[in-house]
Amino acid sequence: MTRILVTNDDGVFSEGIKLLAARLRPLAEVTVVAPDREQSAMGHALTLHRPLRLREIGDGVYSVDGTPTDCVSLGLLWLLKDTPPELVVSGINFGLNLGDDVTYSGTVSATFEGTLMGIPSVAFSQEVAKSFSFERSADFAAGLVEVLLRNELPEDLLLNVNFPASEPHGVRLTKLGRRRYQQSVVQKLDPQGREYYWIAGKPVWDESEGSDQDAVAEGYVSITPLHLDLTDYRGIESYRWLQEQLTSVG
Ligand code: MN
């Protein structure tokens, strides 16, 4: 029996995860383990300093009062520990996760956790603009999962998929784009006259041919293969000077 663990960061009651799980159920035994409330921009946070509650709220559907990473941990290390799934899927997120977003994104971080535990993992995110359709994207996601399940997958498979709001022209394999924030922190005063801060700002994308941002802007489904080895291999050579200068330290 093929099994799929489904999670997200928008919460177990969000439309994106309900539709995704529904479309995947004809393909596999689906277990949904997702946060009991929105946990967007939680990144790869793991809850270690308090207990977690796992509640079965439907047939094979569980909520957790924790992060997306907590959900994958409870899914893989507890609920499915004797029957590991073939795939971990996350989403469909309400909003894109492009470029540097992947490091903040709970949606994508959940798939980091799946891959770290040796399960091929795929994150799905949706551009929200006029004429977007979770139904259309969930159909596409199920088609992609069906194709993946027909193939022998490397256990470190990690795909970040973003859907354009419009009907897609096709699919592009892409690299992560680069984004700069024009204004990142706003300072204001509260009613007591004390300063408070709000992290905000308008993203500006670098022009970058072949990026995920480009593909979605041009109306394509973007599939970015990721890996979790953050090593800068060129740096092992190019930072030799650091090693040399440190021989005189300490
Ligand atoms: Mn989200």
pLDDT tens digit sequence for 25-83: 999 999 999 999 999 988 999 999 999 999 999 999 999 999 999 999 999 999 999 99
Query: What backbone torsions phi and psi does residue 216 show, to the nearest 5 degrees?
Result: -65, -40
Please state whether beta strands 171-173 and 221-225 pair in parallel, antiparallel, or not at all (unpaired): parallel
- pLDDT band for 120, please (50, 70, 90 cuts): very high
Tell whether the model's pLDDT for residue 182 goes beyond 80.
no
Does the domain spanning 3-177+208-245 belong to CATH 3.40.1210.10? yes
User: How many CB atoms sit inside 10 A of residue 123's CB?
Assistant: 32
Q: What is the pLDDT of residue 45?
A: 92
Q: How far is the CA of 245 from the centre of ligand 1 (A)?
A: 45
Report how far residue 108's alpha carbon sits from residue 161's, in angstroms, rounded to the nearest whole number.
9
Q: What is the pLDDT of residue 41?
A: 86
Tell whether the model's pLDDT for residue 210 goes beyond 80.
yes
Q: Picking from 37-51, 117-131, 177-191, 207-221, which range would have the lowest pLDDT averaged per residue?
A: 177-191
Q: How far is the CA of 94 from the centre of ligand 1 (A)?
A: 6
Q: How far is the CA of 126 from the centre of ligand 1 (A)?
A: 10
- Across the chain, mean pLDDT equals 95
Residue identified by tokens 């009907």 is: 167
Q: What is the pLDDT of residue 250?
A: 67
Q: How far is the CA of 239 from the centre of ligand 1 (A)?
A: 37
Share of the chain above pLDDT 90, in %: 87
Residues that place a CB less than 5 A from ion ligand 1: 9-10, 40, 93
For residue 201, how many C-alpha atoms fall within 13 Å in the half-sphere facing its CB?
14
Q: What is the pLDDT of residue 66?
A: 97
Q: How far is the CA of 7 from the centre of ligand 1 (A)?
A: 11
Q: How far is the CA of 246 from the centre of ligand 1 (A)?
A: 43
Q: What is the pLDDT of residue 205?
A: 85
